[in-house]
Amino acid sequence: MTPLILASTSRYRRELLERLALPFSVARPDVDESPRPGESPPALARRLAEAKARAVAAAHPEAWVIGSDQVAERDGQPVGKPGDVATATAQLLSASGREQHFHTAFCLFRQADGGMFAGEDLTVVRFRALDRDEVARYLAAEQPLDCAGSFKCEGLGISLFEAIDTRDPTALVGLPLITLSAALRRAGFRLP
């Protein structure tokens, strides 16, 4: 079987890919994730997904490599990973009663023959009205400081929303498995 590598150190992406029951390894992509001037959030997600796949594929040319990236956006501006409680609090309070878009892209690439499949998903999250006390309780309970937008939809964070609009619920966690599964089949992988 052709080797499969996930070009990511994200435990969330690793856990998602494990659902497909394919053997894979993990490698850290060495990629500058800074946005380019005027680059839109969806274009940034696509560019970084491909750059991550290509960076790891350079060292493993015979393997299929999955690169993925997610960019959260509100009012046309990126919303990053908070890193600390103060930033997470500010992010959630500013999202209160509003929509936030999540652009999740992947690239499946093999350097040996230049094979490439790519896909993306747009997920729209509508937050309900949030107050400072419930935001503080949520952050203390789940500590989503490494998550874009300051929540984990697969956990308690789901209680912060009015609705989620998406074609693929796994995309919001960080890897759109429906589209990725189709790409893997096209690349010759046999999914159970």
CA 144-147-152 angle, 5° bins: 60
Q: Is 69 a catalytic residue?
A: yes
Query: How many whole angstroms separate alpha carbon 51 and alpha carbon 45?
Result: 10
CB 50 within 8 A of CB 57: no
Beta bridge partners of 151: none
Active-site annotation holder among 69, 131, 133, 165: 69
Query: How many whole angstroms separate alpha carbon 117 and alpha carbon 127?
Result: 33
Query: How many whole angstroms separate alpha carbon 69 and alpha carbon 104?
Result: 6
As annotated, the active-site residues are 69
